[in-house]
Amino acid sequence: MNKTILQIPINQELRINAEKEAISQGFSSLQELVRVFLSKVASHRIEVNIQEPFYLSEKNENRYIDMTKDFESGNNVSSAVSVDELMQKIHEDSVS
């Protein structure tokens, strides 16, 4: 195998944080993550799409936690066996 070295000057704090994250995601090192990434890009097996994570406000996070608890316990949940029945229930809920 013909090897070459890729040197990328980066801030030491960035390297440390990136390596911790790479390891937390199952890579043995930051170098392994970079090798896997470059291999996939070079073979057209992935497209790069940089997207920042979306975080809910504390209020909405708590709202969804409450909704999940309701769903898991069967509170404030209903079901329908047909589209017509579902539409009827939705209409009843919007009228009341």
82 burial (CB, 10 Å; 0-12 / 13-18 / 19+) is exposed
pLDDT of the residue at 95: 72
CA distance to 9, 71, 80, 95, per residue, from 76 (Å): 55, 7, 14, 17
pLDDT of the residue at 96: 64
pLDDT in tens, the chain (96 residues): 788 999 999 999 999 999 999 999 999 999 999 999 999 999 999 988 889 988 999 999 999 999 999 999 999 888 899 999 999 988 887 776
pLDDT of the residue at 36: 96
Cα(18)–Cα(22) distance, rounded to whole angstroms? 6
**pTM check: above 0.85:** no
